[in-house]
Amino acid sequence: MGKHLVLVGAGHAHLTTISAIRSLVKRGHKVTVIAPSDHHYYSGMAPGMLSGTYRPQEVRFNVHKLATGRGGQFMKGKVAGIEPDQREVILENGQRVPYDVVSFNVGSVIPSGGLDLGGGSVFTVKPIERILEIRTAILDLWDRRDPGAPLELAVVGGGPAGVEMAGALWRLSRDNRIESRVTLLSGGKLLGLFPRRLQAKVHRSLEKRGVQVREGSRAASIETDRVVLEDGSALQTDVTLLATGVMPSRIFVESTLPTGRDGGLLVNNYLHCVEHPQIFGGGDCITIQGENLARAGVYAVRQNPVLLHNLSATLEDKPLQTFDPGSPDFLIILNMGDGTAVFRKGEWIFKGRPAFWIKDFIDRRFMRKFQLSGELAEPLSGEQEEEDTGHSPSI
């Protein structure tokens, strides 16, 4: 007799399983995908979507079509809680969805760290679909701007996301003839966990283009028109992006499931919950017992085949596979926004256009693997195409 598999979230770690729904259904199982929207956006290309290097259609998967086209069910909504004893997930609208096996890939959020966030001019860079909102807000603000008054654009966060967003803001401004000043605020050393050679290359790239990098500038509060720093000084801003790292969704803590220190669902090396073997997870929302892994997309991608195998095996009472995270010295390529990137693999570090070509090739290959529902020909439903706004993407 078939069982019911529920996939909560359609992030990177679930894409292989969603693509394999047809096989699961043929074996008599029911599969339901629950996600907050029809599309899932790929974080690796998000800075390029902000800058206009990529169209939104190039950066997203139609997970609704991907699931239903293979015989699964799709439910648009967010999960607010889990009741493991009843084997139910509870949606924000109160609906209860029963499961035999459930897997979570609900991503992460940008923590505010107690900051008093301002209104409509302050944006977190996650969820990734917010990038479209940021791009539109900046273009609209410039269209209404008095001549001669540059936009003040700030990025709070000195990690890889902050660096890439600062470069994307520079590119967005250049390609759309926006007069702007871009400031990157890093609470400590810029890219402090990375080698000094990489830090130096990023510094030179940004500062050469006029992006101001302010290290040791920790934000105390963020208001609609300024960022107030801990030393009492303030930076006037028109738009502020918050890219201060990520933390898992709170639903596991609030559901009293076992979690790691930062609230990630605590799983073993089979990727299932240490107390409830019918609950699995992958990506940024989990903590693997005994491991101290960075919250990086590479691990979600590596978890894909193991999750598919173990979810199928649990449905059919077969042996599980263990997940090997692999080397923590994984490839990192930072999109600098000017057609170049900074490449780092071990001690090999270089910057230039070839580095961006490598990143672009890897990203597009990943997208082709799961863009199986005509995404590239889709209109931007509910939104205007770039050509209609008078702002065209720069490919």
Question: Mean pLDDT across the stretch 298-307?
Answer: 92
Q: What is the pLDDT of residue 291?
A: 86
CA distance 198 to 62: 36
Question: Mean pLDDT across the stretch 345-353?
Answer: 95
First to last CA, the chain: 51
Q: Which amino acid is present at 247? A: M
- The β-bridge partners of 333 are 343
Mean pLDDT of all residues belonging to the chain = 91
Q: What is the pLDDT of residue 117?
A: 59
For residue 114, what pLDDT band results from cuts at 50, 70 and 90? low
**CATH tag, 4-36+77-109+247-315:** 3.50.50.60
Predicted confidence (pLDDT) per residue in 65-74, tens digit: 999 999 999 9
Q: What is the pLDDT of residue 245?
A: 76
Judge residue 338's burial from the number of C-beta atoms within 10 Å of its C-beta, 0-12 exposed, 13-18 middle, 19 or more buried. Answer: middle
Element (H, E) at 169: helix 160-175
Q: What is the pLDDT of residue 246?
A: 80
Judge residue 187's burial from the number of C-beta atoms within 10 Å of its C-beta, 0-12 exposed, 13-18 middle, 19 or more buried. Answer: buried
Element (H, E) at 61: strand 60-62
Q: What is the pLDDT of residue 362?
A: 96
Predicted confidence (pLDDT) per residue in 15-38, tens digit: 999 999 999 999 999 999 999 999
Q: What is the pLDDT of residue 385?
A: 42
Is residue 235 over pLDDT 70? yes
CA 360 to chain CA centroid, Å, is: 17
Predicted confidence (pLDDT) per residue in 126-139, tens digit: 888 889 999 999 99
Predicted confidence (pLDDT) per residue in 150-206, tens digit: 999 999 999 999 999 999 999 999 999 999 999 999 999 999 989 999 999 999 999
CA distance 232 to 137: 28
Domain ranges for the chain? 4-36+77-109+247-315, 122-245+331-360
Q: What is the pLDDT of residue 393?
A: 41
Q: Higher confidence at residue 244 or residue 203?
A: 203
Is residue 384 over pLDDT 80? no
Question: Mean pLDDT across the stretch 81-89?
Answer: 96
Is residue 237 over pLDDT 80? yes
CA distance 278 to 196: 44
Q: What is the pLDDT of residue 390?
A: 39
Q: What is the pLDDT of residue 262?
A: 86
Judge residue 174's burial from the number of C-beta atoms within 10 Å of its C-beta, 0-12 exposed, 13-18 middle, 19 or more buried. Answer: middle
CA distance 20 to 35: 17
Domain range 122-245+331-360, CATH class: alpha beta
Element (H, E) at 68: helix 63-68
Q: What is the pLDDT of residue 387?
A: 35
Look-up: residue for tokens 């660096």?
Answer: 163
Q: What is the pLDDT of residue 112?
A: 66
Is residue 91 over pLDDT 60? yes
For residue 337, what pLDDT band results from cuts at 50, 70 and 90? very high
CA distance 33 to 315: 16
**Model pTM?**
0.90
Which residues, 6+ apart, have CB-to-CB distance to 75 below 8 Å? 32, 33, 34, 35, 91, 97
CA 300 to chain CA centroid, Å, is: 11
Q: What is the pLDDT of residue 42?
A: 94
Predicted confidence (pLDDT) per residue in 269-280, tens digit: 999 999 999 999
Q: Count each helix (H run) and each strand (E run) in the chain, helices first.
A: 11, 25
